[in-house]
Structure 1
């Protein structure tokens, strides 16, 4: 109890949604507990004792805390306002200012001074009897799941399981078992790993049982300004796209007036790219470079004829090109003539974090007022636009695999944020198994936990002093807006190239070394990216105490759950689990009660012995299975019966606010629905509808167009029709029904920071 200045405070007033109750506040090492005796209804028998009600708040779920002392010479009480990651907003009022300050300091110390993951609640949690008999860690067995898909140790449908990473020496952020084409040797894979960021090579994540077409995932290639190439990477991708042949090849179309895109000569042979060193924050680097480019840069896209197989770069085109300046980038399609590349235009983690902050701004007074959220602020947040973009990309991938009988490779920057979203959602669209409760658990384990996602960094489990403030003085900077990101374009480019200098001049040349940095570049302080950390800082302090890097936090997994909710809402009979299942999973993402979401990759979980020392979050759901079952679920799969088809595809016109996740009613978030106008566009007439696809590139033909400010002309419409006739699944929105904004393929929206 060394951190608790006060363990119990009587006569505390709790305000929530404009209602107030008086009770007792308890502070434990892992929870804030508020208990009160509710008033009995008049109809209750006189002798009926009132049962106390309790509100439990775990420290890691606190996302912002404000302490406001009582003004001098005023009778107003002191107050502590909490904003939680599950979108609960509460305010505590104290008559005694001294006790209020002690409570604030205790909360801050318990929340921010944990120092190590191993001190979180998951490592002391004792499950109740229903959970005690279960072992959710056994839900996912990679060999069993690959066998279900038809992939075996030796040769299954042209695939085998490589054990090159069994000790995590090949790629520390990848799973121990990596499915690759049977024709690719581990030696070839080893060389190919030198060409992909963090050695996250193209690897199988899903094999379609009907046509044997695949979804593979990877990180970005190390192309750079010199247009490096890797024969081994090209051989690997060619083998992946040759594991099956489409029975119904796509028709090739050639839009008129195509211009051949000039390309730099690429050296033949193995890539001579620099090793990655220990840089870990490529999203941050991408953001800084884009900030410098500014609005003056021409936002051009490319499109061309669709080929049989597809490389999906989830980033906006300009983001991918900008990363070439620091040795990264996107595939040069002159070297991958067996595929087409599509840029999806999904923004990075910083844009998504800012979007959620804007949603919170619309909800942040939920503790002291019963009023609904500001609908204009909700619309301006862009949250639904981002969810629609992710769903649109997943729909594109699902159509390519399920309908067009094609292979798809997905990547973004490091291949563990946008890539995870697109990969998992497209599999939900393709495979009914992943729409069962067990299948969804397997999907999360495979595509998020095994293939790696930075849960510890994105979720901010160890919290930060920046999220605590006294009165109006913020500790450590702005708590919601950028954290020291100001400084203009000149500062941004200076930071970008300083980062690039550090990127190419590392003492430790390991591609995946993450010592001390925990997700950010070691050479630069998170508060001032242009300033070097003192070299005299004792390494023991860094290694023994971990902190949350605020710029690394982002609601990536939250967006995946939100997008899954959209599919569940649109197809209520096709999912075995209900909306509450997703909502409770979002809560436990932040609760730190279970060990499932505490680490960034499989290697960290193995080294920390998480399966022996913590419980799996699936214990919680399996012990209460009946609570999370969907009564409307229909397990029958029949492609000849409408509504029972194997495949489902997102309907973007029905994207809506997941009101339950934000702690609001449907009426408050979505309003009164009328007609068929999609809520995302009805809420704000100024919201522009941006196609998810911002560019298509092939080796043979490309074209670039400027940003369109008007509706396409008849010739442009004809060109678009020619393109879409060959890419029937790309989900371009050409119709002006319901007042939708029609955009040409050259239209692209990139949010600059």
Structure 2
């Protein structure tokens, strides 16, 4: 496809750009196949480069063009909503620009997206793609060797399109058994191992719902698979991310849940978690509340409560804590499932591993965890992150499950500021990249689709880019101190906060907070450099060091301009 087919007007002079907290700027607006570029050619003081994929919607008027880029916006209109505000001379040019943006921002063909054209400096497509593999994960976990194996039953993606080619399964279970068990699970997502506790050897499995149907069908092979997990003498827990009522309703449509008689060693626990349309609408309401500039406290608190976003955060952390408690404290293996097993199951499995495993809390460990659980695990990024919160189109399969997970990780980061080896900036970067990126990591809906589209051969990997020296320094937590202990989050309402560094990062106060954070980061870097030179520990200034150790500086967090 030629991008020029959709560009009616490529350049417009004398366009006025309006951004929050800055004076209007006149310059040249350019539209390319993937970007909107604004340049102040006289002073060169204002340069804006916006990936068109970021744009959720635009509004046209006789006065101007307003471009909404959802949670990635950088300007506002009438003190209420956020967007890039452009005054374009001439109605025809305004309509042409609007048409071009609408077409180019909603291209659905993966091969037409910018990651296939992005070529960062000092990087080669021959460098490889990704951080880990199923085989590498297996060899890193010594407790697995005796009872588990790597199966290539899905090597051609015919057993389960959303799984990677290899999976970790019990040694006593044959590939023939796996084939039959997969037919009993929705979309073929049979139970696979995603985590093994390094001390007690107990595991976390995840899968989709069993297809029991109204006749309560059973599958002997699926039952044998789960019995092999607990080895007959132990007991395990099944955490179903649906309510018991929803699970019962699923029987009428061919789904269901594991029966007590068929899985005698397993106890089923129901923890309802919202997903799909309900979660997306909550996200939309939250962004709307964050864009309300009326300064009315009652209105703000009411909108925040009505969004129910923090309730979703609380539920996710609480369920992940339950999962971690079953494995860490009670010493039992757990199977996590729901309907498809591509959303909430991945969410709580990721959080539980962060709670229990110190290896997942380093910068590289966290990125590897995300790659294993979300990218390789089959989260449909292209469907869930097709549009953010300002889209005017009808909701289809959008749902901010990945964003919810990052919010929960931020809550952990805030409650345990020394226990995680990455910074808040990394979480913000990942949240923005999931919706629009220069890299191919979050393209497509599964590993099979990425292979079919040549994503691993023709695009660059975001996670590898984040681990390069310059990026690593930016996204590392300089106060990080490794601990072998589990970090148990508080889920009391008073302990949970709005992620201001993401949802309120366009507010005016955010600029000052970012300046303060940068200064603090420079101070810590200088202390570290001085300590290395002198081979001594250099204590930070009074106020940053409490008797118990380093404490996080409390500020009114919010953020940077991102356009």
Does the pair score TM above 0.5? yes
Choose which of 628, 632, 649 in structure 1 pairs with 2:475.
628
Q: CA–CA distance in 2 between the matches of 1:187 and 1:167?
A: 15
Alignment of 1:724-735 (within 5 A): none
Alignment of 1:558-597 (within 5 A): 558-597=403-442
Whether the aligned pair in 2 keeps the contact of 1:11 and 1:94 (CA below 8 Å) is yes
Instruction: Give the secondary structure class of the aligned counterpart of 1:661.
Output: helix
Query: 2:271: which partner in 1?
Result: 344
- Do residues 144 (structure 1) and 136 (structure 2) align? yes
Choose which of 298, 313, 318 in structure 1 pairs with 2:245.
318
Choose which of 347, 353, 363 in structure 1 pairs with 2:290.
363
Please report how far the alpha carbon of residue 620 of structure 1 lies from its aligned counterpart in structure 2 after TM superposition: 3.0
Taking structure 1 as reference, are residues 619 and 33 closer, same or farther at Cα in structure 2, changes over 3 Å only? farther
Query: 1:649: which partner in 2?
Result: 488
Query: 1:15: which partner in 2?
Result: 18
Please report how far the alpha carbon of residue 583 of structure 1 lies from its aligned counterpart in structure 2 after TM superposition: 0.6
Whether the aligned pair in 2 keeps the contact of 1:59 and 1:111 (CA below 8 Å) is yes
Query: 1:184: which partner in 2?
Result: 173
Taking structure 1 as reference, are residues 67 and 317 closer, same or farther at Cα in structure 2, changes over 3 Å only? farther
Choose which of 195, 211, 216 in structure 1 pairs with 2:205.
216
Q: CA–CA distance in 2 between the matches of 1:365 and 1:104?
A: 25
Choose which of 37, 57, 78 in structure 1 pairs with 2:64.
78
Q: CA–CA distance in 2 between the matches of 1:65 and 1:34?
A: 17
Instruction: Give the secondary structure class of the aligned counterpart of 1:341.
Output: strand
Instruction: Give the secondary structure class of the aligned counterpart of 1:551.
Output: coil
Please report how far the alpha carbon of residue 360 of structure 1 lies from its aligned counterpart in structure 2 after TM superposition: 2.1
Please report how far the alpha carbon of residue 90 of structure 1 lies from its aligned counterpart in structure 2 after TM superposition: 2.2
Whether the aligned pair in 2 keeps the contact of 1:204 and 1:214 (CA below 8 Å) is yes
Whether the aligned pair in 1 keeps the contact of 2:143 and 2:201 (CA below 8 Å) is no
- Do residues 553 (structure 1) and 398 (structure 2) align? yes
Moved over 6 A (4+): 369-373, 665-669
Q: CA–CA distance in 1 between the matches of 2:132 and 2:26?
A: 44
Choose which of 500, 511, 529 in structure 2 pairs with 1:659.
500
Q: CA–CA distance in 2 between the matches of 1:151 and 1:614?
A: 35
Taking structure 1 as reference, are residues 392 and 202 closer, same or farther at Cα in structure 2, changes over 3 Å only? same
Please report how far the alpha carbon of residue 135 of structure 1 lies from its aligned counterpart in structure 2 after TM superposition: 3.7
Query: 2:79: which partner in 1?
Result: none
Q: CA–CA distance in 2 between the matches of 1:136 and 1:409?
A: 33
Please report how far the alpha carbon of residue 566 of structure 1 lies from its aligned counterpart in structure 2 after TM superposition: 0.8
Choose which of 84, 106, 119 in structure 2 pairs with 1:90.
84
Please report how far the alpha carbon of residue 104 of structure 1 lies from its aligned counterpart in structure 2 after TM superposition: 0.6
Q: CA–CA distance in 2 between the matches of 1:321 and 1:168?
A: 30
Q: CA–CA distance in 1 between the matches of 2:12 and 2:504?
A: 27
Please report how far the alpha carbon of residue 668 of structure 1 lies from its aligned counterpart in structure 2 after TM superposition: 8.1
Please report how far the alpha carbon of residue 142 of structure 1 lies from its aligned counterpart in structure 2 after TM superposition: 2.2
Please report how far the alpha carbon of residue 115 of structure 1 lies from its aligned counterpart in structure 2 after TM superposition: 4.1
User: Which runs of no fewer than 5 residues in structure 2 stay unpaired?
Assistant: 75-82, 511-563
Whether the aligned pair in 2 keeps the contact of 1:62 and 1:85 (CA below 8 Å) is no
Query: 1:511: which partner in 2?
Result: none
Q: Could you report, residue by residue, the CA deviation over 1:730-750 in whole angstroms, capped at 9, with x for unpaired residues?
A: xxxxxxxxxxxxxxxxxxxxx
Q: How many residues align?
A: 493
Alignment of 1:377-456 (within 5 A): 377-456=303-382
Q: CA–CA distance in 2 between the matches of 1:87 and 1:195?
A: 45
Choose which of 88, 96, 103 in structure 1 pairs with 2:97.
103
Taking structure 1 as reference, are residues 627 and 167 closer, same or farther at Cα in structure 2, changes over 3 Å only? same
User: Which runs of no fewer than 5 residues in structure 1 stay unpaired?
Assistant: 38-48, 71-76, 247-307, 468-478, 484-549, 638-644, 670-753
Q: CA–CA distance in 1 between the matches of 2:243 and 2:49?
A: 42
Structure number with larger C-alpha Rg: 1
Task: Name the structure where helix makes up a greater proportion of residues.
Answer: 2
Q: CA–CA distance in 2 between the matches of 1:102 and 1:375?
A: 41
Whether the aligned pair in 2 keeps the contact of 1:23 and 1:34 (CA below 8 Å) is no
Whether the aligned pair in 2 keeps the contact of 1:215 and 1:423 (CA below 8 Å) is yes
Please report how far the alpha carbon of residue 5 of structure 1 lies from its aligned counterpart in structure 2 after TM superposition: 1.5
Q: Could you report, residue by residue, the CA deviation over 1:151-208 in whole angstroms, capped at 9, with x for unpaired residues?
A: 66xxx13111111111112111111111111111111111111211111111100011
Whether the aligned pair in 2 keeps the contact of 1:151 and 1:161 (CA below 8 Å) is no
Q: CA–CA distance in 2 between the matches of 1:67 and 1:402?
A: 56
Please report how far the alpha carbon of residue 363 of structure 1 lies from its aligned counterpart in structure 2 after TM superposition: 3.2
Q: CA–CA distance in 2 between the matches of 1:136 and 1:390?
A: 34
Taking structure 1 as reference, are residues 448 and 169 closer, same or farther at Cα in structure 2, changes over 3 Å only? same
CA RMSD of aligned residues (A): 2.5
Please report how far the alpha carbon of residue 85 of structure 1 lies from its aligned counterpart in structure 2 after TM superposition: 4.1
